[in-house]
Amino acid sequence: MGRYVITGGAGGMGQATARRLAADGHATVLIDVSPRLEGIAAEIDGAVAITADLSDPAQCDSAVEGAFEAGAEVDGALLAAGVTGTFGPASRGLAEFDRVMAINARSTLLVGEAVASRMADSETPGSLVLISSSAAHAAIGQAAYSASKAAVEAIGKELAVAYAQSGIRVNVIAPGLIDTEMAADAKSKPEILAGVLSGTLLGRLGRAEEIAGTVAFLLSADASYITGSTLLVDGGLLAS
């Protein structure tokens, strides 16, 4: 079966995807800065942990190099590493912009390029999935975060074009508000949570397992004619 790199491997969507891929018979390499990563990887069949701070460009490349050295060939990746942004005027500050963009956008580009180029060099076809957000499509009072996720969607298209001839597909998932630890800040603000739920056609938060299922589909041969696309998995948030 396949072997996949997952950045943000200690986060809700990263963990859920690793567990889904393990259930499907695949191995994973989990990359995250969290001290919980080793314990999480130990609980998932076929998972290997690589601790790295992806806000550091040098560690982006070294983590990917470690992933390729850790076993058999890599068949693709989920790039889910990310941080939340602040709300309001602070979200438009330079320091906040640099902090959020370093992880959400820059590491996505660097890790995506590092994985795809190595796959291309080894003539390994496969698939990359990047995580954006519905916030890339609507103003939510988090300027830096929204900008970073819009950048992810642009990066996805660029990588899709760059590596299509190598048989590497690249797609983006834009989730709505997903019930994970990363959403804790938004969930703690009643006015924000109420606004999201009232504007979501399905009337609830998404589950990490629902994102994992979508990732598994896009990584699989069932999605063999899909590349350069952004798939909204938001419960109808942007349709209302």
Q: Where are the alpha helices (DSSP H) in 89-132?
A: 94-101, 107-121
Instruction: Specify the pLDDT at position 187.
Output: 67
CB 94 within 8 A of CB 102: no
Q: What is the pLDDT of residue 87?
A: 81
Q: What does pLDDT average to over the chain?
A: 94
Separation CA 30–CA 40 (nearest Å): 9
The sheet with strand 230-233 has its strands ordered as 47-51, 27-32, 3-7, 76-79, 126-131, 168-175, 230-233
Question: Which pLDDT score is estimated for 85?
Answer: 85
Mean pLDDT confidence for 48-65: 97
pLDDT score of 226: 98
* Predicted confidence (pLDDT) per residue in 154-204, tens digit: 999 999 999 999 999 999 999 999 998 877 766 666 777 888 888 999 999
Tokens in use for 139?
Answer: 């103003």
Q: Give me the pLDDT at residue 43, please.
A: 97
Q: List pLDDT tens digits, range 15-41.
A: 999 999 999 999 999 999 999 999 999
What pLDDT score does 210 carry? 98
Task: Work out the percent of the chain whose per-residue pLDDT is above 90.
Answer: 83
Q: What percent of the chain has pLDDT over 70?
A: 97
> Residue 148: what pLDDT?
97
pLDDT at 206: 96
| Tens digits of residue pLDDT in 67-126 | 999 777 999 999 999 999 888 888 889 999 999 999 999 999 999 999 999 999 999 999
Give the chain's end-to-end CA distance (angstroms, integer).
40
**Catalytic pick among 4, 145, 163, 225:** 145
User: How does residue 133 score in pLDDT terms, banded at 50, 70 and 90?
Assistant: very high
Overall average pLDDT of the 34-56 stretch:
97
Question: What are the tokens at 57?
Answer: 């460009």
Report d(CA 126, CA 111) in Å as an integer: 15
Is pTM beyond 0.85? Reply is yes
- Whether residue 145 lies in the annotated active site: yes
Coil/strand/helix, residue 19: helix
CATH class of 3-239: alpha beta
What integer pLDDT is reported at residue 72 of this predicted model? 72
